[in-house]
Every structure is written in structure tokens, then in C-alpha cells.
Structure 1
Amino acid sequence: MNLRLVKAGYFMGIGLMMASVIYFFAANWQGFDRLEKIVVSIGVMCLLYGISILLAYVMNRHDFLSQWLFVAGAIGFGVSVALIGQIYNSHADSFWLFFIWFIPSAVFALITRYEPFRVLSAVLLQLTFWFYYFPSSYQTERDQWVSFLFLLVFAAVNGAVFFLHRSSFVSYLLYVAMQGWLFLIVGSGLTEGSFTWWPYVYSLLLLVFLYYFFAIVKHRSYVLITSLFAGGFLIVQYFRFVARHFQEGVLLAGLLLAAGIVYGSLFLLKRLRNWAMEENAGTTFLAVFQAIVTAVASIIAISSIMGLFSLWTHHFSSNLLFALSVGAFVLPGMLMQSWNDVVRCTLLAIGYGVGVIASMDISIWIVTTYFLVLLVGYFKSEKTGIKLLTHVALSAFGMLIVEEWSDKLRLALLFVVLLNAFLYMASHQRKHTQRLSLFIGMGSLLLLTSMDFFALDLWVVLANLLLIFITAGWIAFQSKQQEPIGLGIAWFYLWLFLVLKYYEFAWSLLDKAISLLIFGILVLAGTIFLEKKKHLLPNEQVSWVRSKWIPLLMIIALQIVFIGYTVFDKERLLRNGEVVKLELMPMDPRSLLQGDYVRLRYEISQIQGMSGNGKVQLILQKDEAGVYRFARVYVMNGKKDLSYIRKKGEVIINGKWQGDTILYGIESFFVPEKTGIELQQRARYAYVRVSQTGDALLESVSDR
């Protein structure tokens, strides 16, 4: 148990310090110049690799730590590449960043067969696809067929790697990614245009996957994942159909559809039960499958009921709707113990959902009484599904009551935290209800830390400190208790907290980086102290850091060479490129890894009456004010203007068509934290270095 605690401490300490590094470079602190930042980032990467190798060769009992630090070094390479983009104002969150980062990570995964490298590679592959399809630093317009084919290719790549690679965890990520890209074809609205046939094809694909994983390979987890996407697809299609045909018959058909889903699931569950009960995991499989059925059927039923209620009643009555939710759904679901569990849970889910909607506009005393009755029913109920649904309902109704009574969201969220702490302690040995209490309670506490909801004050600071100490303490506690799901929930909220804090503007990234560094050092120091005190000597196998050091060092050397050459090329362009002044129109977001930037759109981003596809070269000419403006096209669609003779005051600049917009690779200008709005208000011109071959590098932005 102590060994697991030590490993958790090392993992947390490394994670916090890596988050500190990312925060620091994203802050774009001006205390270092360009080359100093690059040297520091390379130094951090090499330090992580170096300590990893040192631990592998000198302290053999720390092989697990050596491997983790090597992965951290690979992450450090990605941070260095992102920093180059920030320093030299490349596209924010460019898909090239993640693709370049993906290549050595994938090679590391192939060489070492280490699962964290496989996970990192899978995540980077999805980020590459995502930012290629949804670029954050510029707008893009694509033909519907092009968009469809891109999404199909993304799904096919994930599917191919999935079927060729069956590692324990990464295969799930790849399969979810494949289904996600296929589902996005439906969710992105492409099926409303040229691809009205795709829902039928996707339905057939889902049936094929269900049959394959159910009847051929008999893999429960993939049956559940496929069922989840099938349920989401059914909900989306139903909502779209109702939006086009909002009438009584369609809404009544929705109720019949919900009933049909439940009835069909009962028939299917009879077939699944014998197969599922072959192992202990079968009980969990049946419970999750029932939860998916309940969620899909209840969402469709709730939307149908609300639609019918609005059509049938001229004056909307929340009291009548609340009475309907209790009498027609909650009471039968609670009292009819002889009914099937799926039917009872679906009735309760519908009743609670409709009741929450109606409770927003009825007497607080009625809702409070209802809350107390549900609390009694919660403790009397023995069925896990009913108990979990009532647990969620208690949290929702409790939050509504306190928010209505106090008119303060903070008190409402605090009540949910305390309620779930009470329900956790009252659950004794019921692991499912304890896990739900932990999930809802920590989620509510996380919302209390948000500076997007609340102004920065003492209560927000206390909430942030409380969440950090609770998650850290809970990770330590669950590491000893061997409770993987509870441990996973705590880790999930810790990393989610770090991600959300990155995007909060009230507290500077630099201050957050320093705080995380201090906390990470304290965690590592405490872990080392515990390890020495307990004399823990983990049994380790021979680390791949030692057994495969030659190819690993070759990749590290290539990473350093790549960074060095990229910096050299950018610096050469800054020294030798011709200065070009361009008129612009900016915006102000925050990058995933690179910090704050101003999103730029140039006067030459659109040429009146022109559009195209692929690469283009334009000729810009300096006007009397010193601003370079469009003069003519030099190369377009592979055709060069052979009659052109370069004149004084003209430059050639490379671009790429995106619909009617030309991208020059200089659409992002990275700025120190919290200075983007000021720059946005005064920026009128950009100064760009353009090489003889037409490559552009954004140097500065000015008001004149």
C-alpha cells in the first residue's frame, strides 16, 4: 500500500511540475529574450531525459520513475516546439505542432512498447486531426464533400490502427475516436446538405459493430461504447426530426419510441444475461447497458412530454407539470417493486427530469417537502439503479432550493458539496453510491473554484486550496484502499482543475506556474521522505531506458537537431528578410499550449472577386504611406505569370487559399499575458519579414 502511495506521490509531483513548465512558457514572460527562452526549454527537455537516464543506470530501484521522466521529456519536446511557434508567431495551435510532436512520440511507443507513449501518441493524433479540421487561429471554408472525406479519413485511420493494435487502454481510445469522427459527420450538419443518406449508412455501421463485438469477438466494453454512440445518434436524429415536424403526432410517436427502446432492451437483456454472467464483470456490463437505455429513452420521453405539454396547454402551468412528473412517473417508479428495473429506472429518470424543469417556477416549500420525501425514499431503497437516480435528483433539487432561497449560486454549490459528503458517509459499503457522491461533490467543489462564475475573493481562494488538498489527500487515501474508480475520479478532477485554471484570466499564468512549481516540489519532497522512512524497495524489471538506450538517444538527438535548425531558419529570416508593412484587423483568444495571442486578419487576406484552392503567390507593392498592398497574382493553381518582372518596392509573398481567404502563416501574434486587449484596440499594422522565396515571418504589430 505504501509503495502505491509513493508512486502516486511521484506521479503527482512530476505532473504538477510539468504543468508549471507549460504555464510558465505560455505566460510569455518578457524577462527572457527569444534565444534565452529556447535555451531554457531545450534545457528542461534535456534535464528530464538526463535524470531519467541517470536514474535508470545509477538507482535501479527507481526504474518506474525513470520511465515517467522519459515520457515527461517527450512532453517537454512538444512544449519546445510550441514555444518556437509562440516566439516566431506561427499559427496558434497549428496541427503541424501536434503532428511534429506525434512523430517522435509514436516512434518511442514502437521502440519501448510503453503504454503512456501509446496514449500520448493517440491523443496527439486526435489533436492533429482536430486542429486540421477546426483551426483555431483562422477561419476556413470547405466544400461539403471535402469535409466529409476528411472526417471519413480521420475515422478510417483510427479504425485501422485500432484493428492492428490491441493494447489494453489505447485500443479503447482509438475506437472511441473512430466512432467520434463518424458521429461528427452527423453532428456537424453535413447530413442536412449533400449527405442525407449518411444516417442510414451510419446506422448500418453501428449494427455491424454491435454484431461483431457481441456475436463474434464477444467483447462487452466495445458493445457498451457502440451502444453509447448509437444512443447519441438516435437522440440527435429525433431532435432534428422534431425540429422540422413539431406537431402532436410526432411527439406522441416520440413517447412510443421511448417505450419501444425500453421494451426492446428488455428482450435484448434476456439474451445478454447468460453471456454477461460468464464472468464477474458481467454484472457491471448489464448495469451500464441499462443506464444507457434509461438515459436515451428518458431524454426522448422528456422532450416529447415538454413538447406535448406546450401544445396541449394554452397557459403553461408548472404546478400541473410537477404533479404529472410525481404522479405519473416517480410514484410508479418508486412503488411498483414487481416491475422490471429498467422500466422503473426509466420512469424515475423521466419524472426527475420533468420535475427539475417544473421546480424552477413553483413554490420553494413544495420543492423542499419533495426533497425531504425523496431523501427518505433514498435511504429506504435497496435497488442500486433507483438509489443512484434519486441521488442525482437530490443534488439537483437541493441546488435549486438553496439557490432560490439565497439567490447565491455559491451557497447552492456548497450545499451540494456538503450533501454529497453526507451521502458518502451514510452509504457505508455501497461503492456505487460512494463513487457517485465523490463525483458530484468534487464536481461542485470544482465549480466553486471558477473565477468565470465568481469574482476573485477570499472564498474562491479557499475553494481552490480546498480542492487541491482534498484531491491530493483523496489520491493518497484511495491509493491505500485499492479503490481504482475512486482514485480515477480524484485524478480526473485534479487534471481537469489544472486545465481549467490555465484558461482563467483573473490570476496570471506566471503566478500559477510558480505556485504549481512550489506545490510540486513539496509533493516530491514529501514522497522522498516517506520512501526513505518506510525503506521501500520496489521490485523492478530491467528498464527499457537501459535496454534500448541507443535508438532512444538517436531520437533525442534528432529532436534537438530539429529544434536547432528551426530556430536557425527563423533567425536567418528575421535577419535577412525584407520588412513589409501590412494593414490588419485583429481578435484576442488564448492558445492551448502557447498562451495569449492576437488573431490577425490582413487587408490582403481577401482579394475582391477571387477565390481558389491550394497554394498561391501574390505580388505586393508599397504605396505612398509605406503599406504593402495587393498588386497582382504571380502564381495560382500551379500557373506562373511568366511576363512578370520584379520592380522596386514589390515583394512576392506565399499564401494558401481557404475558400475566399488567403492564409500566409502569420495570422497569430503572441503577446504577454493580459496585454492582448490593449494591443487589439490600437493595432493597425503588422511588420513582416519576407524572404526572397516568399516565406513570411511576423515580427511586430504597431499602431503606425
Structure 2
Amino acid sequence: MKSKWITIQLGYVLGASSLLTAIVYFFATNWEKLNRWEKFTPAFLLILGFYGLSVWLSRQSGRQFLSKLSLFASCVSFGVGVGLIGQTYNSHADSYTLFAIWFIPAFLLAILTRWQPFYVLSYLLGHLAYGIYFFPRWEGNMASEVVQIAIWLGMAIANGILYVLTERGTLKSPFLKWISFQAGIGILLVVSNSHAFEDYGVLMNLPLVAVLAAAVWYTHRTRNKAYLMFSGLWISVTITFKYIELIVHYYNELFFIASLLFVILFIGANVKFMTFIRAWQPVAAPTETDSVKNESDKPENDFTKWVVRVLTVSVVIIGSLLGSLTVLGIVTLVLGFDDPANVLIGFGLVMVTAMVLAKKLNALVRYTILISGLLLGAGAASFSENVPVLFIFLALSIAAFIYIAGMVHRIFFFLAAVLIAAVILFNWINSGIIVLTVIASVLFILFACGQVIRNAAVRQPVLYSSYPSFLLTLFALTFMTESYWYYLTNALFFLIVGLALVVSRQLHIRWIFAWSMGFWTAFLVYKYYDLAWGLLHKSVTLALIGIFILSFTVWYEKKHRLEAAEPEDRSGFSVNRFVIGVLVLLQVAAMSIQIGKSEWLLSHGQLIKLQLEPLDPRSLIQGDYVRLRYTISEPPIFDNNNEDLTSKRKIAVVLAPNMATGVYEYRRVYTKGEELAPGEVRLNGTRMGYERIEYGIETYFIPEGTGRDYEQHAKFAEVKVSANGDAILERLLLQQSVVQ
């Protein structure tokens, strides 16, 4: 049966993701007991082993999914291997090169296999490489506003191209289509910020408006309901964002009075426009099928209703947020009340109560005033810690949920009630664990009870609100480190999410599966930064969990082998097996070359001693490291504002030892072709800003949890430098000894 194959497929995904996460965590620990070759050998074996398993499985009947999953594991292992090389030889932490190198095989495998996980991985890696390359290197005064905007626009254009390719079917990836659409518009909104980009931010509103208009026109023309909704939401976000910009620019009485008039006119105009839309019956262009069969215009009527819903939600969001900010400005600035909290609470109580009862009022006006009143009143009561009033707003939110129909509106009032209840509990109970536990328990009960509600108009908003809220609350509890709750909530999260994934996949409940998979992925990623539990312990635990899940899946598959046949694979993966094999060998060769170059430099480079000033962050892939700043990082070469020097990105300096201390110090800028004096060395670097140089030796990877010792005791670094100026950081030193 297909449902059994889906369960088996999911079991392999969950088990493999746990094992791969365990591998990443293990290498990120930088375990001291392993030397360089004991680290590299497993990395090579993982890459080749997973690929070999992929080839073997591809030749077995009904094993195409597992073959692609093994190939994906090989690609992830390559990324871990590249990061491991950087960790071992202390290359730049989170360097763009790590993600750029990893991106190449991930992208090629996405093209060759057309498998969605490779599309997702390559998208993330490409954006990480692009962002890490540009933004740290062009920060501060290093780049003009035009250059900064150009960098952002480059990313927006790339996302626009991706959206066009996926929309036309050249790339078949729903994920890429969705994320590129959102990212492209979001980036344009960022660069239109006139506060961040004072000179040209205002001009960037033109492409933003053009793209939003094109998105609305195209999604309406193609009858794409989902993307029409996204377009409407982005318009809501944009208008709200621009309104806040105007508040910052024109914070005065006249502005808020004008804003109040604008909100009134905005709502009134949209009421008239909505009436026109409801009476409007758009006529689709005739097609060949129209001459064959005469269908009713019901699809057109349905789409018109959807347009009205999108517009209603967008107008309510815009009107509510703008109205709330306007009323807040009038109360605090124009009227100048000494205690605005009580005024806002009173306003909220009157407006919410009146709108709950005013059933005959126009829906746009009613919802806008109601939500504005709830935001202002409940918000003011929360800040003033007025618990009795919060109970009133809680009751009003529940009443609004019951008496006001509409999916989106009921979801809003459900979530508002949950937030108000959480604020009340936090005022009563001085324990975040207890409050979150109570909220999570109530949400789970509501989700369970929601399954038996017969009225779909009530059941759906309860389910759609309670389940994601429950997962978010339980996820937050997994980071609470007090006593046994930490281990209990982590175990519960694994069990509940895993069970939800299996059940929702079998029953084809897509929204529950999507939320569950999202939180499963977030759990594996964010636990990397959970300092309450060592990476090594998390690695072992995840490895055991992965082995258990895979073992159970294998047993389950054997038991139901005849009923769980894998659907036929038409991706062409077998045809591309030779090309994929060459790609894997190139990955291994690239890692080998980098190791060889680093080992040669360690063996033949000149040893020098530098003074440093360490810090302590954590790399995304490579684990803990100390961030180093040397005395030679800010040499006095730019003091005379020499344009010839300040215009250069790549630069080399000459160092020479201090005879008293043996520490190498800055002497001069290196001139190409010059002869160095005995004892002098050339060191290549990159200018960062107007006064700082980075030499590629600014990171030193350390075992987890030892950063404080390095910060307190490491004073010097030993660096191997080649004749052409490249360097590798070998070890950190105390004033008299090596830090181990």
C-alpha cells in the first residue's frame, strides 16, 4: 500500500537526518583526542561510502529513493569535510569559500537528479556564500551606498530569475518558487528603507512598487490564488513599513491628524472598491476547450470571491496597524495625556465591545476597528500589568472568535487570546517553565478537542492555530535548562513531532506535515547552539536515535515488503550515474588538494610569532573558535590618507622580528618584486575598512567549551608563512608555553 511506503520513506529521512546531524555535531566538537588524519579519514570514507551505497541501491529494484538519499548524505558529508579542513588548518570561520565550494556539487546534483532536497540545499548554500562574501567585506565606510544597494539588488535579481525559471517549469521546485518570490520582494523592501539608505533609499521605492504591481497583475491574470494572497500580504507589509518611516521623519501633531484622515479615507475607499469587485465578473480569454464544452462561470465566481478575501485581509491588516499607530500618536503627542495607558485601555474596551456586537456594520470597518482596539487596549494593559483588564480582553477575544465568522479573523482572535493568557500567567507565576508548560498543555488539549468539532468553520481555525502554537511553545521549552524539564521536553518534542510526521504523512494532512517537518529541521539546527548540552553528547544521542529509527524502518519495511512498493522513478538519476561519479571524485580531489597545500605550508613555511587579542564566537559548521586580532591588524599605513594605498583591496606587508621579544612586527607595505632583508617575511592580506587588514589567520578552532581559557591566557600565535606570503595559523601561545 502507498501509505506504508510513505511511512518507510519518512523513516529513512528522519533516521538519515539524525545521523547526518550527529556527524556535523561530532566534527564541530573539534575533539582533542583525534589528530588531523584521524579526522580526515572518516570524512573521506563518509563521502565515498555514501556514494558507493547510492550506486549499489540505484541498481536494486525499488531503491531509487534510498539511492538519492544516500547521494544527498554524500553531498552533506562533503560540506562537513570542507568545513573540517578549515577547522583543522584554522581557515576563516564561516568563510564564503566553504559555502561556495559546497554549493557547486549541491547545485549540479540538483540539476542532475531534479530532487527537491538538493534544490533546497543549493539555494541555502548559494545565499550564504553570497551574503558572507559581500556583507562582512563591504561593511561600514568600506562601500558607498550605491555599492551596498547594488549588492542587495544582485540577490533580488537572482531570486527573480529563480522565480521565473520555476514559474515557467524550467526548474521544477515548489520550494524555490515560493522562497524566491518572498525573498525577492523582501529584499526590495529592505533597500527602499530611507533610514538605512539615506541618499537612494527613496528612489528604490520605484522598483518595489513596480514589482508589487507586476506580482498582483500576473497572479490575477494566471488565477494563482496562493501567490495573489502573498502579493496582497506584501502590499500590507510595505504600506505599514512606509508609514513607520514617515512617522520617524514627521513626528508631529499635524502628521497624526492627517494620518487619521488618511486611514478613514483609505477604509472608505476600499469599502466602495470592494462593492465594485463583488459586482465584477472577469471574463477569461477564450480557449480551445471553450468550443468543445460549455462550462458555467463558477470558477470565475470563485476566483472573484478569492480576490475579495485577499483584499479584505490586506485592507484590514493595513487599516488596523496604521489606525493603531495613528491613535497612539494622537493620544500621546496631540492630546498629550499624562497617563495614556488608561486612555488606550478605555478606547480598546469600548471599540472591541462595540464591534463584537455591531453585526450589521460593514465587515472592513468592523474588523479594522475591532483589531485596532484589541491591539491598543490589550497592549496598554500588558505594559501596565493590569491583570483584571487583561481578563476582560481575554473574554472579548474569545467572544470575537465565537461570534465573528471568517477563517483569518478567527485565527487572529485565537492567537490573541493565547498571547493575553500568557501575559496573565507571567504576571501571576514567576517561572517561564511553568507558564510555557501550562500554555503548551492547553494548546495540545485544544488541538485534540478540535478534531471532534463538527462545524468546519470553527474546527479549522482551532486546528490551524493550536497546532503551530503548541509546537512553538514546546520548542521553546526544549531550551529551558532547569532540572529534569530540559530532558523531558526534548524527549517529548522528538516523540510528538516524529509521530505527527508519520500520521500526517499517512493521512495526507499536508499542513500538519509541513509544520512538523519545519520544526523537526529547526530542532536539529538550533540545538547546535544550545549550550546546556555539549555537542559531543548531542552527537552521540542523535546518532543513537538515528540508528534506532533506521533499524525500525528496515524492520517495518521487511515486514510489509509486498505492500510497500516504491513508485517508479522517472528522474533520470540512473542515466546520470557516470556524471555524478565524476563529480564525487572531483569533490574528493578538491579536498585532497587543499589538504596537500596546507600540509606543504606547515612543513616548509617559516615560523613567526605574532601578538594577538582573542575573542570567542561559534562557527556555523566548524564549531567553537577564537577570533583573533593582531597588533599588525591595524598598521600605520593609512595615516597619511594615501589614495594609492586606501584604494587597494589586496595588500601585502613586510614583517621583521623584534630582537628583544622575538615577536614579528610591521615594517612597511610590500612592493612587488622587492628583495627582503634577512629575517623579514612577506604576509598577504585584505584591507577591511579604512584601517584594518585581515591576513586569513584570524580564527583558531578549539575544543568546545575552552574559549574562556584561550581568551584569558593566549597572548601570542605561531604562524607558518610561505615565501609567497600565504600563512597558516599553527598554534596559540602563552607568554612562555603553548596552549593545549
TM-score of the two chains, using structure 2 as the length reference: 0.88
552-561 vs 366-375, which moves further: 366-375
Residue of structure 1 in register with 2:348 after alignment: 325
Instruction: Map Cα deviations across residues 163-209 of structure 1 (whole Å, 9 max, x no partner).
Output: 23433411222232322332332359442235442224432343234
Change over 3 Å in CA distance of 1:542–1:192 after alignment to 2: closer
Q: Which residue is 1:432 aligned to?
A: 461
Give the counterpart letter for 2:565 in structure 1: L
- Identify the match of residue 655 of structure 2 among 613, 620, 623: 620
Distance 1:409 1:575, change over 3 A: same
**Correspondence for 2:567:** 539
Instruction: Report the counterpart of residue 629 of structure 1 in structure 2.
Output: 665
Per-residue CA deviations over 1:491-512 (Å, capped at 9, x if unaligned) read 1111112222111112101111
1:406 and 2:429 matched: yes
Cα deviation for residue 414 of structure 1 reads 2.1
- Is residue 348–residue 389 contact of structure 1 (8 Å, CA) maintained in 2? no
Deviates more, 1:681-690 or 1:218-227: 218-227
1:302 to 315, 324, 338: 324
**Matched position secondary structure for 2:686:** strand
Distance 1:673 1:260, change over 3 A: farther
Q: Which residue of 2 aligns with 1:510?
A: 536
Correspondence for 1:7: 9
Give deviations 1:294-313, integer Å, cap 9, x for gaps. 33332222222222222224
**Distance in 2 separating the partners of 1:654 and 1:374:** 64
Structure 1 contact 89–670 (Cα < 8 Å) conserved: yes
Looking at structure 1, the residues matched to 350 and 129 of structure 2 have their Cα atoms a distance apart, in angstroms, of: 51
> Residue by residue, what CA displacement relative to the aligned partner does 1:277-296 show, whole Å, maximum 9, x if unpaired?
54978877765554444333
Query: Is contact 2:281–2:301 with CA below 8 Å preserved after alignment?
Result: no
> Which residue number corresponds to residue 599 of structure 1?
627
Q: 1:486 to 1:324 in 2, by over 3 A?
A: same
Separation in 1, partners of 2:130, 2:366: 42
After superposition, the C-alpha distances for 1:136-157 in whole angstroms (9 at most, x for unaligned) are: 9998832222212212222223
Q: Is contact 1:345-1:389 (8 Å) kept? A: no
Q: In terms of mean alpha carbon deviation, does 588-597 or 602-611 score higher?
A: 602-611
C-alpha displacement at 1:100, in angstroms? 0.9
Task: Check 1:331–1:67 CA distance in 2 against 1; reply closer, same or farther (3 A cut).
Answer: same
Q: Give the counterpart of 1:692 among 717, 723, 729.
A: 723
What pairs up with 1:128-277 in 2 under 5 angstroms?
128-135=129-136, 141-166=142-167, 167-169=172-174, 170-187=176-193, 189-215=195-221, 217-263=222-268, 265-266=270-271, 271=277
**Aligned 1:555-594 pairs, distance under 5 A:** 555-594=583-622
In the alignment, the residues of structure 1 paired with residue 667 and residue 654 of structure 2 have an alpha-carbon distance, to the nearest angstrom, of 6
Q: What is the distance in 1 between the residues matched to 2:145 and 2:83?
A: 31
Give the aligned residue type for 1:608: P
Alpha-carbon distance between aligned partners in 2 of 1:79 and 1:556, rounded to the nearest angstrom: 14
Is the contact between residue 625 and residue 707 of structure 2 (CA under 8 Å) also seen in structure 1? yes
CA separation of 1:229 and 1:703: change in aligned 2, threshold 3 A? farther
Alignment partners' CA distance in 1, 2:265 and 2:7: 49
Task: Report the alpha carbon displacement of residue 438 of structure 1 after superposing the two structures with TM.
Answer: 0.4
Cα distance in 1 between the residues matched to 2:577 and 2:150? 41
- 1:314 and 2:337 aligned: yes
How well do the aligned residues superpose, as a CA RMSD in angstroms?
2.6
Match of 1:384 in 2: 407
More moved, 330-339 vs 458-467: 330-339
SS at match of 1:613: coil
Q: Contact between 1:586 and 1:601, CA under 8 Å: does it hold in 2?
A: yes
Cα distance 1:592–1:291, how it changes in 2: closer, same or farther (>3 A)?
farther
Distance 1:422 1:672, change over 3 A: same
What is residue 290 of structure 2 aligned with on the other side? none
- 1:634 counterpart letter in structure 2: Y
Q: CA deviation at 1:556?
A: 0.6
Q: Which amino acid aligns with 1:655?
A: G
Change over 3 Å in CA distance of 1:412–1:306 after alignment to 2: farther
**2:589 partner letter:** V
Is the CA contact 1:619–1:632 (under 8 Å) kept in the aligned structure 2? Answer: yes
Q: 2:495 aligns with which of 461, 466, 469?
A: 469
Q: Is the 8 A contact 1:612 1:657 kept in 2?
A: no
Length, aligned pairs only: 692
What per-residue deviation string (whole Å, max 9, x for no partner) do you get for residues 251-294 of structure 1? 23334444455455556655488569549788777655544443
* Cα distance per residue 1:332-376 (max 9 Å; x no partner): 432222334443333332222213312222542332244245335
TM-score by length of 1: 0.92
Secondary structure of residue in 1 paired with 2:337:
coil
- CA 1:392–1:652 in structure 2 vs 1: closer, same or farther (change >3 Å)? same
Q: Measured at CA, do residues 264 and 12 of structure 1 come closer, stay the same or move farther in structure 2, by a change above 3 Å?
A: farther
The 8 Å contact of residues 90 and 666 in structure 1, kept in 2 or not, is answered as yes
Q: Which residue of 1 aligns with 2:52?
A: 50
Aligned amino acid, residue 657 of structure 1: R
**2:62 alignment partner, SS class:** helix
Q: The residue matched to 2:569 in structure 1 has which SS?
A: coil
Please give the per-residue CA displacement for 1:225-248, whole angstroms capped at 9, x wherever unaligned: 343333333223222221222112
Secondary structure of the structure 1 residue equivalent to 2:192? helix
State the 1:531 CA deviation: 2.2
Q: What is the aligned partner in structure 2 of residue 124 from structure 1?
A: 125
Deviations 1:90-127 (A, max 9, x none): 11111111111111112112222223222222221111
Contact 1:417 1:445 in 2 (8 A): yes
- Kept in 1, the 8 Å contact 2:353–2:396? The answer is no
Alpha carbons of 1:23 and 1:180: their partners in 2 closer, same or farther (altered >3 Å)? same
For the residues of structure 2 that align with 1:555 and 1:208, how far apart are their CA atoms? 40
